[in-house]
Structure 1
Amino acid sequence: MFKKIFGGLLGRGESTTNNAPQPPRAAVLAEEAAAQATPFKLPQTLGFVSHQPIQDQSQRIVAYEFAVKDSLAVARPAASRRSFDQLLFNTLKNMNIFRLLAYRRAFIHVSLASLDDLLQQELPAASAIYLLELLDGEQLADTVMPQLDALRAAGLRFAVEPARYGTAPAALELYQRVDYMVLDFAAPNTRALFPLLEQLPQRYPQMRWLARNINTAEELALCRHSANSDRFALFHGSYLSVAQNRVSQKEGASQGRVLEIMRLLRANAPVAEIEAQFKLDSLLLFKLLRFVNSPVNGLSRKIQTIDEGLMLLGRSALFKWLSLLLFTSDGDGGATLSLLEKSLIRAHFMEELGIIRGNKLEAEHLFLTGMFSLLGDLLNLTLAEALEPLDLPFMISDALLLQKGLFAAPLQLAQACEQDDGERITELAEQMDVDLDQVSSVYMEAVVWAQEVLSESEVQSNVEAV
């Protein structure tokens, strides 16, 4: 089927969109009339809206994909798609997506029925890419091309998944008007599309591709090493975190020094001993003060020495900021920064959950739990080996190493949000007595906070090419 569908993209094969038997026109009209006669009841909230990271070729996170992974998104009738999309936009605005778009691009799933509504959403044109969804059985209307032309003239950008649109003349016209094509490795019979990747760029040389749902080494290799693989500009999927290059076989010299300083802080060592470690690597002190003095922290005056930092912040807060330094002390490659961003999001998300409970000390420990949860990946060690020098409180180590104790559920909730595991998110939210709207807003706040910290610390990814 896919060979026939995509043959037209290469100038050969079938020219029809779908050879499957079509239902009688009368039945289609009756179904549409029934859908319109019975209003589809939209929920007041969409609950947790998935926002999955998208990486560029250097493994830096440059965008997020927003979608509703829910039966409601699939089952909604055509008559209610526009209202559903508006509810999605309202939810994103309540999640403060505008702040995120100052630092990252967003791929937002919308239906063709909502094209007339896109300008009134007032999202930054340079930062939002609309992934146009064609539902099963839906055809491209004659009005779509003029609508797209007008929206593109206003600066809006679009993406489509060709497997959904086929090779009819209207679909080929559509491909000339989009900025990204999407290859979804989780779609049925995707392997049949692999040979086409060598020829499709010749037909559409201006097109960049987003590879979605990369879940195996083979799929990633196809995107990175096959002919014309340079067309793949963006990557999404669970395997990306597995494939991230480690910084080294063991921690670098600067990382080892950071771990030693953190050990001294935990052991209540004299200030002179701590300062002596920084004197061995003045760049570490510069990086630490850059993090600490970031405007996002709201300090009344800048801290210029370790002594001032200990006096104004305290050892616990300084320990917290040193945890960030572990990820940037020996380089700022794309894989390392992706790990840092993911760790920051986990840390702040879990910290905010602690604040909701009203326990400041618990919140500080939750931050460290999230921050250190990926330390083994960073240092290419087991997590137990990576944590050993730090002598962490047992509540933190129990959650990280044994997945038990008071901090285990918040960590598992952060991981479920990353994996877009709706059932697990619902289960853990109920267990922690937090509603889904709150989980979604707190998680988005953590995502934005991470961008602000990275930006102010001058280790932000470059998203201008997206």
Structure 2
Amino acid sequence: MLKKLLGGLLGKTATPAAETRSTPPAPVAAASAADHAAPLDQVQSLGFVAHQPLQDKAQRVVAYEFVVKGSQAARSRAHQRTFDQLLLSTLRNMNVFRLLAYRRAFIHLSLASLDDLATQQLPLTSCIFVLEAQEGDALDDVLLARLDMLRQAGWRFAAEPARFGSQARALALYQRMDYLVLDFAAPNTRALFPLLEQLPQRFSQLRWLARNINSAEELALCQHAPGSQHFALFHGSYLGVAQPGGSRKQEAPNQGRVLEIMRLLRAGASPASIEAQFKLDSLLLFKLLRYVNSPVNGLARKIQSIEESIMLLGRDTLFKWLSLLLFTAERDNGAALTLMEKSLIRGRFMEQLGLRHGNKLEAEHLFLTGMFSLLGALLHSSQAEALAPLELPSTIADALLHDKGLFAAPLQLALACEDDDSAAIASLCAAQRVSLEQVTGLYLDAVVWAQEVLTESDVQSNVDGV
């Protein structure tokens, strides 16, 4: 239903998912059970696997970085190799790679596991492996030859110079990479700034991924420092801070009208009062009638009045449609689309948590809680100011404004999943009576579902350039 709603408000005709959905790349080879079953006999899952969004220069999410807390801890080569196989096995078991029809994946892998790649069942063209070195690893001719062979077969790699340094062998490694990683949270990153200024000039074909951008200064460094044109992907908390866009003033009256109609719907206002608001905004009225008469609703005759539209849709469906309209007002704004995507993921994840407990109405309200959790950022106002016109049920308002009440814990769990807060995830899972594996599955389902909604509505990012 929600995909139909979004397609309708964007003027798209819904088609069967099988016809519109992209097909993930075929795996290169299926690994036999003997290849990796033995090391995984004792443990079959890593629990929650975080997937951090990576944005392009337009601030659109185009990739995810798959991370497990503690994956860079000191281990023997054999132990690390087992851990890597367990990570890849967990990603397969969770069916993570279906996400790669819409996004690309950066997956951390130790140098010790390069020999295992050819036997893994992975979507080769959609994955970039971030290589990590351990004590005892040698960047020798054998390893470089192995990388050359894998690259010729289509595998792609990334490396973080702060971990490998500037020796001749490290420079030979960088020459074989597709991406270099600058992690602003790494303790020795700033000491390497002189090297980082030289690398873009020396390896002009490489693109850069900037991780953990947590301030305007760090973002400015990526945008204006020497070689900044090579920065292609960005990650960090600062990117989640809404910045006023140039189109906001143009869209603000429309958003205000939408909020007023939503308030009237919540207050049980008469159809005449709601109709009067639609008549004050010709574009909004056009979008409503276009959606009501779209083929997805299968009407035998054309609806031409607002009153009939309200009767046909029902107040709940109209309210949800208007909620989505708020987030698609700035569909050409990458930052606004990122907020929309994150809101869809939160809403769907929380809704599915509610459905696990068998309460459909509660699940519906949980969806709205997730959707409206970023409304203040979207409207460039405080959350209280953004929500005030809506007169939401107390369960939703308490969670969004005061972090308390019935829906506070599901929202906290959604936020913990975004932030990869393992301690919070574990405690909140217990409170919600779900396992880490179930939460990973539900959260991944929400991520994929959001991509399907956006893709089928022609609101999507260009991932082919990653």
- Scaled by the length of structure 2, the TM-score of the pair is 0.83
Provide the C-alpha distance between the structure 2 equivalents of 1:361 and 1:283, rounded to a whole number of angstroms.
32
Residue number in structure 1 paired with 2:440 = 440
- In terms of mean alpha carbon deviation, does 425-434 or 235-244 score higher? 235-244
Report matched runs for 1:382-461 at 5 Å. Answer: 382-461=382-461
Give 1:266 shift. 1.6
Report matched runs for 1:129-140 at 5 Å. Answer: 129-140=128-139
Give 1:89 shift. 1.4
Residues 46 and 374 (structure 1), Cα distance of their counterparts in 2 relative to 1, 3 Å cut? same
Provide the C-alpha distance between the structure 2 equivalents of 1:291 and 1:423, rounded to a whole number of angstroms.
44
Decide whether the 8 Å contact of 1:291 with 1:453 is kept in 2.
no
Provide the C-alpha distance between the structure 1 equivalents of 2:459 and 2:325, rounded to a whole number of angstroms.
11
Decide whether the 8 Å contact of 1:413 with 1:428 is kept in 2.
yes
Residue number in structure 1 paired with 2:16 = none
Residue number in structure 1 paired with 2:52 = 52
Amino acid at match of 2:133: L
- In terms of mean alpha carbon deviation, does 275-284 or 440-449 score higher? 275-284
CA deviation vs aligned residue, 1:160-206 (integer Å, no higher than 9, x gap): 11121223333222211110000111111322223333332111111
- In terms of mean alpha carbon deviation, does 276-285 or 115-124 score higher? 276-285
Structure 1 unaligned spans of 5+:
1-38
- In terms of mean alpha carbon deviation, does 213-222 or 361-370 score higher? 213-222
Give 1:391 shift. 0.6
Identity of aligned residues (%): 67
- In terms of mean alpha carbon deviation, does 74-83 or 303-312 score higher? 303-312
Give 1:285 shift. 6.1
- In terms of mean alpha carbon deviation, does 380-389 or 235-244 score higher? 235-244
Decide whether the 8 Å contact of 1:47 with 1:436 is kept in 2.
yes
Provide the C-alpha distance between the structure 2 equivalents of 1:133 and 1:228, rounded to a whole number of angstroms.
24
Give 1:256 shift. 1.4
Amino acid at match of 1:93: R
CA deviation vs aligned residue, 1:259-315 (integer Å, no higher than 9, x gap): 1221232233444554554455565467678999999xxx78489857776556532
Residue number in structure 2 paired with 1:368 = 368
Decide whether the 8 Å contact of 1:251 with 1:379 is kept in 2.
no
CA deviation vs aligned residue, 1:316-352 (integer Å, no higher than 9, x gap): 2331232121011244201100111111111111111
Structure 2 unaligned spans of 5+:
1-38
- Scaled by the length of structure 1, the TM-score of the pair is 0.83
Give SS of 1:199's match.
Answer: helix
Residue number in structure 1 paired with 2:33 = none
Give 1:251 shift. 6.4
Give 1:154 shift. 2.1
Residues 288 and 151 (structure 1), Cα distance of their counterparts in 2 relative to 1, 3 Å cut? farther
Residue number in structure 2 paired with 1:155 = 154
Give SS of 2:327's match.
Answer: coil
Tell which has more relative contact order, 1 or 2 (C-alpha 8 A, sep 6+).
2
Residues 338 and 395 (structure 1), Cα distance of their counterparts in 2 relative to 1, 3 Å cut? same
- In terms of mean alpha carbon deviation, does 255-264 or 349-358 score higher? 255-264
Give SS of 1:123's match.
Answer: coil
Give SS of 1:101's match.
Answer: helix
Aligned length: 424
Decide whether the 8 Å contact of 1:103 with 1:451 is kept in 2.
yes
Report matched runs for 1:35-434 at 5 Å. Answer: 43-70=43-70, 73-242=72-241, 244-246=243-245, 248=248, 252-271=252-271, 273-274=273-274, 277-278=277-278, 281=281, 283-284=283-284, 301=298, 310=310, 314-434=314-434
Provide the C-alpha distance between the structure 2 equivalents of 1:163 and 1:320, rounded to a whole number of angstroms.
47
Amino acid at match of 1:316: D
Decide whether the 8 Å contact of 2:331 with 2:459 is kept in 1.
no
Provide the C-alpha distance between the structure 2 equivalents of 1:434 and 1:463, rounded to a whole number of angstroms.
33
Amino acid at match of 2:404: K
- In terms of mean alpha carbon deviation, does 427-436 or 130-139 score higher? 130-139
Provide the C-alpha distance between the structure 2 equivalents of 1:335 and 1:201, rounded to a whole number of angstroms.
27
